[in-house]
Chains A and B, each alone.
Chain A
Amino acid sequence: GAVVSQHPSWVICKSGTSVKIECRSLDFQATTMFWYRQFPKQSLMLMATSNEGSKATYEQGVEKDKFLINHASLTLSTLTVTSAHPEDSSFYICSVQGLAKNIQYFGAGTRLSVL
């Protein structure tokens, strides 16, 4: 399977600042990556689908200006939480669509705490 690296693993920031989270596909070129959000003891909710070289497709209810996604290369997608507020505190997980398109490989996740 694919090896997916997510960085940072944990970030604490002040309210109003922006935070960038990186998702890297280490061993193959990924055309499609996904960004999920997970609240404590809850399931994963898809935020957006990130396609290399084009604009991300956001799920209903996800603010595209709040959660900026950039997929500028086949190995890197970034999620920037702009003007973060305490309610944005969550666990953010990225995944990479494998060569077998029905399989997604997940990063280890980023815990964001906004004070």
Chain B
Amino acid sequence: GEDVEQSLFLSVREGDSSVINCTYTDSSSTYLYWYKQEPGAGLQLLTYIFSNMDMKQDQRLTVLLNKKDKHLSLRIADTQTGDSAIYFCAETQNQGGKLIFGQGTELSVKP
């Protein structure tokens, strides 16, 4: 079945770049997403990428997709303490279909 894997923890210093990685198994994934979850809160959509794209940039966020290796990454430039949260990678096969989430990566930003 579909599976999405992420590393569990990442620690960076304020001002550095963070790179959060995700791998997935479903070759028919059409959309891939990054969500942010702060403690005790719901999920905030950060960005998403369509499977025919290689890269998408939105201000401090850069998403890279390697479809051949089924690898997705999220780069946060100039990481701030307010970026500390859990980041979830998710994929779906089709519009309106269910989202399959990874386990989440806890990003800790140290001053």
- Chain A residues near B (Cβ < 8 Å): 1, 4, 6, 32, 34, 41-46, 49, 59, 93, 95, 97, 101-109, 111
Contact = CB atoms under 8 A, between A and B. Distances in A.
Contact of B42 (A1, A43, A101, A108): A108
Nearest to B50: A102
Nearest to A32: B96
By size class, the interface of chain B is: 20 to 34
Contacts of B104: 41-43
Interface of B: 30-31, 35, 40-45, 48, 88, 92, 95-96, 98-99, 101-104
A93 B103 contact: no
The main secondary structure of chain B at its interface with chain A is loop
Given A43-B101, A43-B102, A109-B41, 6 more contacts: A43-B104, A44-B88, A45-B101, A93-B43, A106-B45, A108-B42
Contacts, number: 52
B92 A102 contact: yes
Contacts of B40: 109, 111
Contacts of A1: 45
Contacts of B95: 101-102
Contacts of A45: 101
Nearest to B8: A41
